[in-house]
Structure 1
Amino acid sequence: MNFNPEKFKALVHYVCRTCTDPSKLSATKLHKILWLADIYAYKHVGMPITGEIYKKNLYGPFSTHLDSVVDQLRRENLLFVHEVDVNWGEGKTRREFIGKGDVNKSFFSEREAQIINDARDYVCENHTAVSISDKTHDAIWEMALMHEPIPYEAMLVSRLAKVTEEDIEWAKSELRKIKQ
């Protein structure tokens, strides 16, 4: 899959701009919306929306380019990032994203826009950051090593048959062999 940085930037801006309640769009949730939009598009359309590389992170699949795109959008005055104090411990904050300005929707087909909207609404309206992270700790996530890219094709394999613990351990051992 070829990563399209401009389309990815437009996707991040679109999600942040169209989320009606910024308190429901934390960094973790934004990562999950991007992942779900790309993986659902791959499953239903045959191609991800952006071709972004997602890596296994403690909290599920995480985008590799999100931080740099957020910085770009901030510099272009298209995104405001609000740091909110949380009661998780001393000095802890949660980032909320507020999109500004006009969104370039020309990057997205009608089908892609529907997939993006569905992913955004599903994550923002039905989940906390913790519950959506737990939900993305699926067979695809289990098969990858920490900080390793998660291939889109893994989603198709996970749908073919029930992945067992033995399968996961075998895949991890094969990946370790390849890395050596």
Structure 2
Amino acid sequence: MDFNKEKFKNVLHYIIHKCGHKSNVGKTVLYKLMYFSDFNFFELYEKSLTNESYKKLPRGPAPMHFDVAIEELTNEGKINVKTKNLPSERIMYNYSSLEEPKIDFGDDELSVIDDVLDNLSDMNANQISEYSHGDMPWRATDDYKIIDYGFVFYRNPEYIKRNYDQSD
């Protein structure tokens, strides 16, 4: 799978446009919204939305090209990033969209992304990290390794998006 940087940037910009204004949506939440958009799409259609690679980190899956995409979107004048210092030397990143995102998605892609946003974008970083820890692709991957998309076919029922025919 070849990484589709423009598609990744467009999906990320769309997600920031739709929910970057929420006070709970920082870097960790965006990581997970991108992950579930890609992995849910893969489960449903057996192909990746962006072909991004996600690494298993202690707080959940993280997209490998996130920082590059954010930097490019910022330099292109499409988004703005603000930082705020938090206790324990942590930083909160807030993202805002400065223009309408380019929506070059099919209806099926948009449906999956919007479903992820509807169901998960109100979670804070701790909640969505904990939720991601229950997903089989993250659970089945060794720490700091790339998560295999194929593990979506072994998800627990609460994560399954595909309607599997029970008569098979």
TM interval, short-chain normalised: 0.7 to 0.9
Equivalent pair of 1:22/1:97 in contact (CA under 8 Å): no
Unpaired runs of 5+ in structure 2? 158-168
Q: Given the alignment of the two structures, is residue 149 of structure 1 paired with residue 153 of structure 2, yes or no? A: no
Q: Given the alignment of the two structures, is residue 122 of structure 1 paired with residue 119 of structure 2, yes or no? A: yes
2:129 is aligned, of 111, 130, 133, to: 133
Greater share of helix: 1
1:86-124 Cα offsets, whole Å, 9 max, x none, are 3x23x4320011011121102x10111111112123222
User: Partner of 1:29: helix, strand, or coil?
Assistant: helix
Q: Give aligned-pair identity as a percent.
A: 25
- The alpha-carbon deviation at position 6 of structure 1 amounts to 0.8
- The alpha-carbon deviation at position 53 of structure 1 amounts to 0.2
Equivalent pair of 2:27/2:94 in contact (CA under 8 Å): yes
User: Partner of 1:50: helix, strand, or coil?
Assistant: coil
What is the aligned length?
A: 156
Query: Amino acid of the residue matched to residue 142 of structure 1?
Result: R
User: Partner of 2:61: helix, strand, or coil?
Assistant: strand
Moved more, 39-48 or 50-59: 39-48
Determine the structure 2 residue equivalent to 1:36: 36
User: Taking structure 1 as reference, are residues 20 and 59 closer, same or farther at Cα in structure 2, changes over 3 Å only?
Assistant: closer
RMSD: 1.7
Equivalent pair of 1:22/1:98 in contact (CA under 8 Å): no
Determine the structure 2 residue equivalent to 1:175: none
* Separation in 1, partners of 2:152, 2:43: 8
1:126-163 Cα offsets, whole Å, 9 max, x none, are x1110110111133222212211001001113459xxx
